[in-house]
Structure 1
Amino acid sequence: MSNTPEPPETSEAPEPPAPSRTEQVAALRPVYQADLADGTDRFFEPRRTTCPWCGSAELKTRLRTTDLLQHKPGAFVLDRCQDCRHTFQNPRLSEAGLEFYYRDFYDGLGEKQVGTTFAGRTKMYEQRAQSLLPHSPTPKNWLDVGTGHGHFCESARTVYPDTTFDGLDFTDGAELAERAGRVERGYRGSFPELAPEFSGHYDVVSMFHYLEHSTQPGLELRAAYRAIRPGGHLLIEVPDPDSRFARLLGRWWLPWLQPQHLHFVPVGNLRGRLTDLGFTVVAEQHAEPHDPVDLLAAVWLALDTAVPDDVPWVAAPPSAFRRALRTAVLIAGIPAFLLGTLLDRFAVKPLSRRLGLSNAYRLVARRD
């Protein structure tokens, strides 16, 4: 028997509990109030007089709205070109505006909620990956641009178990995705700036609801051409500005997503630009990428806007009465939420293509 004394037991101090949302909001409020002290003018570039897609000066205002998701201050305008029908934010967010309006949406205050939402969309991600199978059944490597937290790559691996998935995003989501093992490599930064180091490396590049966030979508498409090897494929999915829901629901149509969505490209414009770059479009889908949430989301946006939650970009927290009113309004809206969900899934989705209600379209293009 050994007389060697056993080492004393050590106990690590428990980690302090994560701050509540109320505490997070209170801590952020002084920072946001300082940002807003001089108003919102610096968050916008000068207004354009020509279309950023074709250069035409024939512009017409299509939509005026506010931030219906975060309720950050500001008014946003979407103009449409009367010649090529490209719809774009005008005036567009400046670099300062992009930082301000993205802050606490995908990370910080909004990270948990957005991460939970994206993590629960496994079937949609698998369906996106399956859309490439007829054209590229065994890609060696795949770059997902605008990967967020990498949930698409994690799901796509069940469809392509032998493919290496990398992710790129201009937020820290790509780094989080790499640490979580959802991507092999997570690149943070601008795709056009990083594209030279990817030259001809990837069999597939995907952009799912990414191009509409870009300040210069043409540069993103050129970057994709550079990153894809000859014979490889580009997979793009974007909101469809020609959806009838865009007209029927107006500012309550979720895919407008102001102020984050800067460009809305009609499918004919995107097909033409891809052809000009040296791609051949091998598939166009409308019904398949339709996300059946339009009516449900419109109800939520309307009720949430009527009685917003406590947010740090408002100078003072809501009173007890306002909090109680918000709870009452949301409870009263439950029948409308249920009706919207049922109509979205069982009435609209089966007929979305036939009725022109698809809220997104998807293109598969081969680099020649």
Structure 2
Amino acid sequence: MSDEPESGAPATTRPEPSRSEEVAALRPVYQADLAKGLDRFFEAPRTTCPWCGSARLKTRLRTTDLLQHKPGRFVLDRCQDCRHTFQNPRLSDEGLEFYYRDFYDGLGEKQLGNTFAGRTTMYRRRAESLLPFASAPKNWLDVGTGHGHFCESARTVYPGTTFDGLDFTDGAELAERAGRVERGYRGSFPDLAPGLAGHYDVVSMFHYLEHSTEPDLELTAAHQAIRPGGHLLIEVPDPDSRYARLLGRFWLPWLQPQHLHFVPVDNLRNRLTDLGFTVLAEQHAEPHDPVDLLAATWLCLDSAAPRDNLPWLPTPPGALSRVLRGAMVIAGIPALILGTLLDRFAVKPLSHRLGVSNAYRLLARRD
């Protein structure tokens, strides 16, 4: 007897698995990974600054994974000469795969996709920051594009521009299939740049450089991909923000263990100049994302509450843990609301004056 549906009968579709089913399916894989130990997820510690080579290093921060709660402890060191802050020891290739897995794709794809999709105003403002210097670029490459939501919004500002995206996760491929980018490149920008030499009028890196293992190679790749006279637009967390000190490990832009490098603005300006760029604009207030107090409140609350059902935990939480977690989250709602109000209405208008802007943006022209 044939297993095919009768002619004209609708084919049955298998329902998507629930989150609990997805977690249960992933748990044996994660437990097998963790059984091999965490040492392989880290390189040997550095004794010199990766930016300037100085040996004068000082520990700035020790923390855990406050977002996914994957096991491990992470250290950020700060160079006493150039002020560059970096993860030390740095994640190895195996570590990068382990800690990125199920964050932007897989288990976390839907949640992160919805979060990014809802930030259209921020994306438009990023795109508009180029308008005084280039009103109609022919083609634009967004490096670290994620699911391509920036390109989708930027197209409303530059309707005649072709937008491509590049990412080392499958986000670029998802963005291409969704029509948010014309071409989605998956892989390493330094590896792909020779094939893109001189092709783009604009290359953007929005909160990408801090994820890269070698920021200098990424900047060199950008110089290679941009035609002479084209522009590079970079936005990164500002390690000199006062919030970085006041909120400690609960400052969201630390984002351990994903963020590997935190470059002070003077360092980045100087490196771009050395590569053959002219910095045209520097912004601090404009790229500030007013979420610091809300995020810090949530990270504190989430750290104190019992864990959610996560596949890297050996067993799912019991009924009592689930009830207690729900009760703590509900009890924390007033604090979350207060943090939101302070972020948006009290701090945001004064963020640059108070020195708490959590990001900066540089626009540079390739000479």
Q: What range is the shorter-chain TM-score in?
A: over 0.9
Which residue in 1 is equivalent to 2:220? 222
SS at 2:201's partner residue?
strand
Which residue in 1 is equivalent to 2:3? none
Q: Select which of 22, 43, 53 maps to 2:20.
A: 22
Equivalent residue runs for 1:2-17 within 5 Å? 10-17=8-15
Deviations 1:164-204, CA, capped at 9 Å, x for gaps = 00000001100010000000000000000000011001000
Pair 1:182-2:174 in alignment:
no
One-letter code of the match for 1:91?
Answer: P
One-letter code of the match for 2:135?
Answer: P
- Compute the displacement of 1:11 (Å): 2.2
Which residue in 1 is equivalent to 2:140? 142
SS at 2:142's partner residue?
strand
Deviations 1:119-163, CA, capped at 9 Å, x for gaps = 000000000000000011110000000000000000000000000
Q: How far apart, CA to CA, are the structure 2 residues paired with 1:110 and 1:11?
A: 35
SS at 2:352's partner residue?
coil
Q: How far apart, CA to CA, are the structure 2 residues paired with 1:105 and 1:304?
A: 17
Q: How far apart, CA to CA, are the structure 1 residues paired with 2:12 and 2:353?
A: 58
SS at 2:227's partner residue?
strand
Q: How far apart, CA to CA, are the structure 1 residues paired with 2:182 and 2:109?
A: 22
Which residue in 2 is equivalent to 1:132? 130
Q: How far apart, CA to CA, are the structure 1 residues paired with 2:12 and 2:123?
A: 37
Q: How far apart, CA to CA, are the structure 1 residues paired with 2:24 and 2:67?
A: 19
Pair 1:287-2:285 in alignment:
yes
Which residue in 1 is equivalent to 2:359? 360
Name the stretch that deviates more: 72-81 or 12-21: 12-21
Q: How far apart, CA to CA, are the structure 2 residues paired with 1:253 and 1:11?
A: 56
Deviations 1:29-85, CA, capped at 9 Å, x for gaps = 110000000221100000000000000000000000000000000000000000000
Name the stretch that deviates more: 321-330 or 303-312: 303-312
SS at 2:236's partner residue?
strand
SS at 1:271's partner residue?
helix
One-letter code of the match for 2:257?
Answer: P
Which residue in 2 is equivalent to 1:251? 249
Pair 1:309-2:320 in alignment:
no
Which residue in 1 is equivalent to 2:320? 321
Equivalent residue runs for 1:137-286 within 5 Å? 137-286=135-284
Q: How far apart, CA to CA, are the structure 2 residues paired with 1:15 and 1:76?
A: 44
Deviations 1:215-248, CA, capped at 9 Å, x for gaps = 0000000000000000000000000000000000
Which residue in 2 is equivalent to 1:347? 346
Name the stretch that deviates more: 133-142 or 302-311: 302-311
Equivalent residue pairs, number: 361
One-letter code of the match for 1:316?
Answer: T
SS at 1:80's partner residue?
strand
SS at 1:176's partner residue?
helix
Q: Select which of 101, 104, 107 maps to 1:103.
A: 101
- Compute the displacement of 1:28 (Å): 0.6
Q: How far apart, CA to CA, are the structure 1 residues paired with 2:9 and 2:85?
A: 60
One-letter code of the match for 1:271?
Answer: R
- Compute the displacement of 1:12 (Å): 2.6
- Compute the displacement of 1:9 (Å): 5.4
Q: How far apart, CA to CA, are the structure 2 residues paired with 1:131 and 1:190?
A: 26
Which residue in 2 is equivalent to 1:3? none
SS at 2:35's partner residue?
coil
Moved >6 Å (runs of 4+): none
SS at 1:36's partner residue?
helix
Equivalent residue runs for 1:58-77 within 5 Å? 58-77=56-75
- Compute the displacement of 1:10 (Å): 1.1
Q: How far apart, CA to CA, are the structure 2 residues paired with 1:23 and 1:179?
A: 26
Q: How far apart, CA to CA, are the structure 2 residues paired with 1:84 and 1:14?
A: 62
- Compute the displacement of 1:305 (Å): 1.4
Residue ranges of structure 1 left out of the alignment (5+ in a row): 1-7
| TM-score w.r.t. length of structure 2 | 0.98
One-letter code of the match for 2:290?
Answer: P
Q: How far apart, CA to CA, are the structure 2 residues paired with 1:349 and 1:165?
A: 31
One-letter code of the match for 1:72?
Answer: K
Which residue in 2 is equivalent to 1:337? 336
Residue ranges of structure 2 left out of the alignment (5+ in a row): 1-5
One-letter code of the match for 2:351?
Answer: S
Percent sequence identity over aligned pairs: 82
One-letter code of the match for 1:338?
Answer: I
Which residue in 1 is equivalent to 2:53? 55
- Compute the displacement of 1:302 (Å): 1.0
Q: How far apart, CA to CA, are the structure 1 residues paired with 2:230 and 2:36?
A: 49
Q: How far apart, CA to CA, are the structure 1 residues paired with 2:268 and 2:125?
A: 22
- Compute the displacement of 1:14 (Å): 2.7
- Compute the displacement of 1:17 (Å): 1.2
Superposed CA RMSD: 0.7
Which residue in 2 is equivalent to 1:4? none
Q: How far apart, CA to CA, are the structure 2 residues paired with 1:18 and 1:298?
A: 34
